């Protein structure tokens, strides 16, 4: 895969493991379309020479437009005889991209994930929704009551789990959280 850069000359490229991103920018959509198709043809020849296949069903393209007007028609991007599908919300290395690069969908998804994980922690801790998170030298959780739970992770063993239970007020049951 290291020699693949020789097959692609006109585009900027980024690769991670077996994934590759090619991009081209211009104010006129026709120039990048021609350049991308030319380099995809070169990539196809390179792959055929080394007995590799491009999974066209898993390959997609997107366009990022930072100006107001949208494209009137989709560019014709293809590998050989296979036209590639357009993906308006691609995901690359865990980041959701959108046509205007404002990352709204990514931020919304991450916020939803945090809310779901917080609900799990609240259930594990048998606490209510008034739990607040604060940062200190160790991770700590505090509630409006006098109970406190703190958890620290061992730097020598990152895969270890820690169980911590603390009860400051005898009228409030202790929190329990397992961190892995």
Domain map (residue ranges) of the chain: 4-102, 125-179
CA dist 164 and 120 (Å) reads 16
pLDDT of residue 108: 93
pLDDT of residue 100: 86
User: Token pair for residue 159?
Assistant: 């895969």
E strand map for the chain: 12-16, 19-23, 60-61, 78-79, 82-83, 85-86, 91-92, 95-96, 132-134, 139-142, 148-151, 162-164, 177-179
Residue 35: C-alpha distances to residues 8, 13, 30, 72, 80 (Å): 10, 13, 9, 20, 14
State residue 136 phi and psi, 5-degree precision: -150, -165
pLDDT of residue 152: 36
pLDDT of residue 29: 87
Pairing of strands 60-61, 85-86: parallel
CA dist 90 and 33 (Å) reads 18
Q: Average pLDDT per run of 10 along the chain, which is 180 residues long?
A: 70 79 86 91 92 91 80 87 93 90 92 93 72 45 37 38 43 42
| pTM to 2 decimal places | 0.60
pLDDT of residue 18: 79
């Amino acid at each position: 895969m290291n020699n693949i850069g020789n097959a692609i000359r006109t585009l900027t490229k980024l690769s991670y493991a077996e994934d590759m991103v090619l991009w081209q920018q211009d104010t006129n959509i026709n120039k990048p379309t021609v350049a991308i198709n030319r380099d995809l043809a070169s990539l196809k020849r390179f792959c055929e020479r080394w007995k590799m296949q491009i999974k066209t069903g898993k390959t997609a393209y997107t366009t990022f437009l930072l100006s107001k007007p949208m494209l009137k028609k989709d560019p014709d991007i293809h590998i050989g005889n296979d036209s590639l599908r357009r993906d308006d919300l691609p995901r690359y290395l865990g980041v959701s991209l959108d046509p205007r690069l404002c990352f709204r969908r990514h931020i919304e998804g991450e916020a939803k994930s945090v809310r779901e994980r917080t609900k799990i922690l609240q259930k594990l801790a048998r606490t209510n929704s008034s739990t607040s998170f604060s940062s200190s030298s160790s991770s700590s959780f505090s509630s409006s009551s006098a109970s406190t739970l703190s958890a620290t992770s061992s730097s020598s063993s990152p895969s270890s789990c820690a169980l911590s239970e603390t009860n400051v007020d005898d009228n409030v049951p202790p929190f329990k959280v397992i961190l892995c």
